[in-house]
Amino acid sequence: MTTNTTTEILRERWKELTVDPSFFEDCTLHTISYIAQEDRERKLYYFECEEIIFYDSKKDAVWTTKGSGLMDRLPKQTSVVIRKGKYRLD
């Protein structure tokens, strides 16, 4: 079963960051990072990001946010662009 990426799903799965900032110490701060879509759900942690843009399987921007947080169960076939921030995949 494929889950379509929608603003509602992304907002529902976005959570407050529950880890200590030291969790990101070994992560590199890039100007722009791209996380490609995959055929599985993933957990992504974001830290002090200037902009986070989520794209559906058609590469249309679906939702934009910023700051620190956790995307619990990023939907399948969803890609992400992060501007000026750190992230970790789980």
Mean pLDDT by 10 residues, the chain (90 residues): 78 95 94 96 96 96 97 95 96
Domain assignment of residue 1, yes or no:
no
Q: Is residue 47 part of a domain?
A: yes
CB-based contact 32:83 (threshold 8 Å): yes
Instruction: Provide the number of structural domains found in the chain.
Output: 1
pTM for the full model? 0.92
Alpha-carbon distance of 32 to 13, in angstroms, equals: 23
Q: Identify whether 69 is part of a domain.
A: yes
70 is a domain residue: yes
Count of beta carbons in the 10 Å neighbourhood of residue 44: 21
Domain that holds residue 18: 7-35+43-89
